[in-house]
Amino acid sequence: MRKFVYVEPGDDGITPVEIIKTEKEILEEYFPFWKTAVMRARGQEFYNQIKDPVEECITDWIIVNWAEEIH
């Protein structure tokens, strides 16, 4: 199972906090939003041509969150 880490501000708005998410968590939380956004922007036909929607979604999530995979 792949894991990813990103940093966001803590409760005080200053102190950085590392957040770790599994691939499963990302897909449960982000995939429905991502799929809808892709289809609204590019259409159903474009979405259907994506060879690996799961990997494309993960890649997008990594970019949006400035995350990186934990090895």
pLDDT digits (tens, 9 = 90+) for 18-58: 999 999 999 999 999 999 999 999 999 999 999 999 999 99
- Cα separation, 37 vs 52, in Å, equals 16
Tokens representing residue 44 in the block: 């159903």
For the segment 3-16, the average pLDDT, to the nearest whole number, is 96
Instruction: Show the domain range for 25.
Output: 3-70
4 close to 26: Cβ distance less than 8 angstroms: yes
- The CA-based diameter of the chain, rounded to the nearest angstrom, is 45
- pLDDT score, position 13: 92
The total number of structural domains that make up the chain: 1
- pLDDT score, position 30: 98
For the segment 11-23, the average pLDDT, to the nearest whole number, is 96
Residue 7 in 3-state DSSP?
strand
The DSSP 8-state label assigned to residue 64 in this structure reads: H
- pLDDT score, position 53: 98
